[in-house]
Amino acid sequence: MFKKWNKQMSIFVFVLALVMTALSGCGSSSSSNSTSADNNKAASSADSTPSNTSEGKNTETRKVTTVMGEVEVPAHPQRVIVNWYVGEVFTLGIKPVAINAHADKAMPFYGQFEGIPITEKWESEEILKYDPDLIITYDPKDYEDFSKLAPVIVVPEGDVSSSERLSFLGAATGHEAEAKKAIAVFEEKLNNAKGKLSSGIFKNKNFSILQDWGRESYGVMYETGSRGGTLLYEYIGLKKPEKLEQLVKTSGKGRDSLSYEVASQYFGDYVLWFLKEGYESEYAKSVIWNSIPAVKQGNVIQIPAEVGGLFYYSDVASMTAQLDYILDRLLALDKQ
């Protein structure tokens, strides 16, 4: 009887051992699979990486190299907040959940502002209200202030050209096709303008961008970046008057004031003369005005205040519209 019991006990122990081994194997397999998945995710160097959220939703991210380092952003952001680069975002076909930017009826994308809140303050508490999944800005300081709220893409203005900025943001947000299309349209018009403004009456001529703010205010302001300056000088390649060129180099200021007494010296062969709303230029009434060569020859193109918003931004869409406007006005002079 003892031998029979011993035999049964041995069989029981053997079966138990098999069960324990099987259970141990399942645990090891699960642990191994989990570790392998984690390692694959961490080691992935692809631009876009799929990941599962706790709700079981599939999302994708991509890594973008910015001036602030590598930033992981949504591959297809849905809740974008933007400040100065609102034109780029609209051009890419993205509708922001909120913006911190200026809107004007003369802007080529004015209709796209409809229904989008304009934040009163550019600060964490205000931004958090809109639950962003991506923040786009020009200011490196915003990375420190807002990166805990959402991924932040910083593109400092001046570090890249307007076309490069649009291309970069298109790649960063999954809208490369929209960026390429807008840039292609702009470049085609740009090449056409370069050809027309480098020959005929415009050959070897220089250009100024000026606005009268009043003797008791800023006098006459010159512009080299805003008010179409980026388009004229950087993209079309038009020249500034030599005296203005030297002033910009020595002062380091692309925009500054000129007194009424010296302003005439900075007028180019052709002038874009911006008008202020509700203000009739004092300078244009002064004795010296009619003695300025560009004025006498009828080479001053007045930009009415109601279209001033067209020249507010220097994104690709704005510059495309600016180019159409300026070229039409300049070519009209050639027909006189």
Residue 128 inside a domain? The answer is yes
3-class secondary-structure state, position 44: coil
Residues 129 and 221 grouped into a single domain:
no
Q: How many angstroms from the chain centroid is the CA of residue 45?
A: 26
Q: What are phi and psi of 108, to 5 degrees?
A: -65, -20
Q: Which of 42, 254, 100, 78 is nearest to 173 (CA)?
A: 78
Averages of pLDDT over each 10 residues, the chain, 336 residues: 40 39 40 36 36 48 97 97 98 98 97 96 96 97 97 94 97 98 98 92 96 93 95 96 97 96 97 94 95 96 96 97 96 81
Cα(150)–Cα(81) distance, rounded to whole angstroms?
10
Residue 149 inside a domain? The answer is yes
Which residue, 142, 174, 206, sits at the end of a domain?
A: 174
Q: What are phi and psi of 266, to 5 degrees?
A: -110, 10
Residue 8 inside a domain? The answer is no
What is the pTM (predicted TM-score) of this model? Answer: 0.81
| Residue 182 token pair | 């807008």
Instruction: Give the chain's domain count.
Output: 2
Tokens 């006990």 -> residue: 9
Residue 19 inside a domain? The answer is no
Q: DSSP for 132-144?
A: -SEEEES-THHHH
Residues 109 and 192 grouped into a single domain:
no
Residue 265 inside a domain? The answer is yes
Tokens 């490069």 -> residue: 164
CATH of the domain at 138: 3.40.50.1980
**Residue 296: domain span:** 185-334
Which residue, 174, 198, 229, sits at the end of a domain?
A: 174
Q: Which of 163, 194, 154 is nearest to 181 (CA)?
A: 163
Residue 43 inside a domain? The answer is no
Cα(242)–Cα(206) distance, rounded to whole angstroms?
8
Residues 223 and 276 grouped into a single domain:
yes
Residues 95 and 165 grouped into a single domain:
yes
Residue 35 inside a domain? The answer is no
Residues 144 and 194 grouped into a single domain:
no
The conformation of residue 334, written as its DSSP 8-state character, comes to: H
Q: What is the pLDDT of residue 52?
A: 37
